[in-house]
A = this chain, B = another copy of it.
Amino acid sequence: MKSFIEVSADSHFPIQNLPFGVFSIAEDEISSARVGVAIGDQILDLIVISKLFEKHVPELGNPALVFSQSSLNMFMSLGKPVWQATRKFLQVILSEDNPELRDNKELRNQAFIPQKLAKMHLPANIGHYTDFYASKEHATNCGIMLRGSSALFPNWIHLPVGYHGRASSVVVSGTDLLRPRGQRSPGKDQPPVFGPSIKLDFELEMAFFVGTGNNLGEPIPIQKAEDHIFGMDPTPFPYLQEEGKTAYDIHLEAKMKPSNNDTHKTLTRSNLKYMYWSIKQQLAHHTISGCNMRTGDLCGTGTISGPSEDARGSLLEITWNGKNEIDFGNGVKRLFVEDGDEVVLTGYCQGEGYKVGFGECSGKILPAISS
């Protein structure tokens, strides 16, 4: 499979991938956020080709409406058969031997926007964000460091533990973040102190969006979980599946660029396949009580650590709770994230001669506010 759009071998976005996103034109104040698909270093603007969708993917109903939204929620709410038909059509219309878009010079000029000119937005209106704790290696490491025991809590092997995060605080890649402040305990039997976080960390995770939800009181059975997970689409993604049903072989990597440094250093390499609890198990467990999930809900895997020391997914584990410094050269060392440091997370699957990737997600830490 090959597109008439040139895609370099190391790109995360060949025709085999085609991830959906929401973008606007960075320098154009009146350009509104809308739905596009990444291919190579370009974005295909789906509004511009809405007439083609009307002709080839009637299931979309009103494609100009669906793709002019500033989130993927309307598209996601249409359900898996529509996601599949849309993706399949995009692969057809972008393939090198299909003349319909390739040879329509005017349409083609309008339809592709260089990624470097685009501003990316959060792809979904996220209602809820749940973060699981699905890596056994990570849970074990935390137990040893924080509770002095390598034994997991008894319930850990019976259910995917999750906690409920703030969807409002999820930001798009490239957003600077202020160091948070709060109360912490300086030691047992001592009163708490107030101030900026002193052990600021990152966690190398993946996440999925709920595409279609369920009604309150009606759990999603694990056999149907993948129909509800947006983007988990075995037909066009056979390359993603490695061993067993849900162990995706996705290489994950975290890099850090300390304040005033010029280059990033890779801190860890992990893999989604190390997860103990699969994303289908996470969704089935999340809803078993009757909890209703909604389009746009986000579920994180929790930190994914692998079996070896160089596959640990957080600074807590990498520095073993501040015991082992990371050396960035030129005297720059780190135990946790300091002000001005930038963290970059990335992930991809390796196909034969191409990558199916997730791009990069970066964030820089600014000092805590002082007032």
B192 with A158: CB separation less than 8 A: yes
The answer for the CA separation of A369 and B217 in the assembled complex, in Å, is 8
A180 with B289: CB separation less than 8 A: yes
| Residues in B whose Cβ lies below 8 Å from that of A289 | 180-182
Chain A 227-260: CB-based contact to B (< 8 A → 1; otherwise 0): 0000000000000000000000000000000000
A288 with B181: CB separation less than 8 A: yes
Q: Is A216 an interface residue (CB 8 A)?
A: yes
B169 with A166: CB separation less than 8 A: no
B294 with A181: CB separation less than 8 A: no
Q: Is A52 an interface residue (CB 8 A)?
A: no
The answer for the CA separation of A142 and B178 in the assembled complex, in Å, is 36
Residue with the highest number of chain B CB atoms closer than 10 Å, among A169, A213, A292, A297: A169
Q: Is A109 an interface residue (CB 8 A)?
A: no
* Interface residues on chain A, size class: 35 or more
The answer for the CA separation of A153 and B89 in the assembled complex, in Å, is 58
| Residues in B whose Cβ lies below 8 Å from that of A322 | none
| Residues in B whose Cβ lies below 8 Å from that of A216 | 168-169, 171, 177-178
| Residues in B whose Cβ lies below 8 Å from that of A291 | 166, 168-169
Nearest chain B CB to A106 CB, angstrom units: 39
Residue with the highest number of chain B CB atoms closer than 10 Å, among A185, A217, A297: A217
Nearest chain B CB to A176 CB, angstrom units: 9
A217 with B178: CB separation less than 8 A: yes
A155 with B183: CB separation less than 8 A: yes
The answer for the CA separation of A289 and B184 in the assembled complex, in Å, is 12
| Residues in B whose Cβ lies below 8 Å from that of A182 | 288-289
Q: Is A127 an interface residue (CB 8 A)?
A: yes
Q: Which of A154-180 contact B (CB under 8 A)?
A: 154-155, 158-159, 163-169, 171, 177-178, 180
Nearest chain B CB to A183 CB, angstrom units: 6
| Residues in B whose Cβ lies below 8 Å from that of A219 | 181, 369
Residue with the highest number of chain B CB atoms closer than 10 Å, among A168, A183, A213, A297: A168
Taking a contact as CB atoms closer than 8 A, the residue among B159, B167, B192, B294 that contacts A128 in the complex is B167
B155 with A192: CB separation less than 8 A: yes
The answer for the CA separation of A218 and B169 in the assembled complex, in Å, is 12
Look across to chain B and name the residue whose beta carbon is closest to the beta carbon of A176.
B217
The answer for the CA separation of A216 and B177 in the assembled complex, in Å, is 9
Q: Is A293 an interface residue (CB 8 A)?
A: yes
| Residues in B whose Cβ lies below 8 Å from that of A189 | 154
| Residues in B whose Cβ lies below 8 Å from that of A218 | 369
Look across to chain B and name the residue whose beta carbon is closest to the beta carbon of A292.
B168
A168 with B294: CB separation less than 8 A: yes
The answer for the CA separation of A218 and B181 in the assembled complex, in Å, is 11
Closest 8 CB pairs of A and B: A178-B217, A164-B164, A180-B289, A182-B289, A168-B292, A180-B290, A158-B192, A168-B294
List 9 A–B pairs whose Cβ atoms lie within 8 Å, in order of A's numbering.
A127-B167, A128-B168, A158-B183, A166-B291, A166-B292, A169-B216, A169-B292, A177-B217, A178-B217
Q: A155-B192, A168-B293 are in contact. List 14 more A-B contacts (CB 8 A).
A: A128-B167, A155-B183, A155-B185, A159-B183, A164-B164, A164-B165, A166-B292, A168-B294, A171-B216, A177-B216, A180-B290, A181-B219, A181-B289, A218-B369
Chain A interface residues (CB < 8 Å from chain B): 127-128, 154-155, 158-159, 163-169, 171, 177-178, 180-183, 185, 189, 191-192, 213, 216-219, 288-294, 297, 369
